[in-house]
Structure 1
Amino acid sequence: MNSEVAKFLPMVDFLETVLGSNNEIVLHDFSDLEHSVVDIRNGHVSGRHAGAPATDFVLKVLNDDELAGGDHTTSYLSHSVAGKPLRSVSYFIRDGGKIVGMLCINTDTSLIDELQYLTAQIGSVYHSLTKGPILDAESGPAGIEHFSTSTDDLVRRSVSAIEAATGKAIEEFSADDRLEAVRQMNADGVFLLKGAVAQVAEAMGISEPSVYRYLQKARRESQGS
């Protein structure tokens, strides 16, 4: 474990005691992105355990200097493994300026959200008020975070998101579609994960050399822009 990350282990105990069971406290060490969760308390909140991989949000932060500015994030929307909406905040742990880990708090606000919704409904009866959704789409600079239990799960989620955005099944993708998909996954930091090329190749039904060719082209275009 990175020595700077190890310094935050006592904080995990402290935050668990202070915040209670509806707050998940997670310590990440980015020395191994495939198993970055080195300590976790109240893992039932997100459905994860120690040894879980880095999230899509983490990969975007590590792949984008602008997102990595500052020492912490503001509150953003995330989702548990089961899809439950959570509110999250992350502190960046640095070693010589480089982000080497994160201390994260993920809060299950479902009871508060339900109470707020019911209060709004009761208020509308007496005051004819119209309330919008309790949880809006606000999600921080890198978009909504999704928690995964494995690297393969994260890659499948990324592919599914691309399918939803294009309105096409992955089997229907043309060569240009596949290049754009790889370009998007590269921008999202998916290929920072070991073994991602093989998993993307399997998900897209193409060979690993084909994925490498798309990836090299995407990276050349990115460097040339």
Structure 2
Amino acid sequence: MTKTTEHTYRNEFTQSDRELLEGYFRLAESMADLIGPHCEVVIHSLENFEQSVVKIVNGHHTGRKVGSPITDLGLKMLRLYEQTGEVTPKSYFSNNKGGAMLKSSTCILTGSDDKAIGMFCVNMNLSHPFPEIIKTLMPDMSQHQSFDMTENFSASAGDVVEQALTHAVSEVNADPSVNLKGHNKAITKILFDNGIFELKEATNIVANHLSITKHAVYKYIREFKS
């Protein structure tokens, strides 16, 4: 750590450190979108403590913006990391300037040689009425939303393929435009479009289920790629 002529403290960062930190920016946006508008997500860079905020979503909860400084608690957590190597995030409660209660979690981000380069912070504003918070976590049924997005949570790759195959078969069977001759190819096309054949077990499972050879599946895939 060095001291500049402006009497601010700076850590020596490499371009790789900065790029690694920027890689978390999309994660911050995704986290804020998942939890909802009552959640602030902040990324601090430890290159310059006085302007440490390099990414912030929903910053109105604490009144901060890009270029805001690190917090006193952030400095304390950094010192703890330097002393113990502890990076595991822990939840804690605090208050913003307006007195609103926040439930927060902060995790140290490290670069090469485990050097601390940043912090990933999540702050949930608990001052909002709880039903209002819950509402942002639930689908808006008044919009008659169709839940056509499925995701297979499985313990093995084979289970993922089997479930995806079941969905594809149901989709093709419900499509009157698909004739018997094109049935297997249509199923394989859905699986191909969804990236299922990136899994090593997929070809064997699909071939066995459809009672066709692996060579037939490979032939379909070559056609789709071309």
TM tier relative to shorter chain? 0.3 to 0.5
Q: Which has the higher contact order (CA 8 A, sep 6+)?
A: 1
Q: Provide TM-score, normalisation by structure 2.
A: 0.46
Q: Provide TM-score, normalisation by structure 1.
A: 0.46
Of structures 1 and 2, the larger Rg is shown by 2
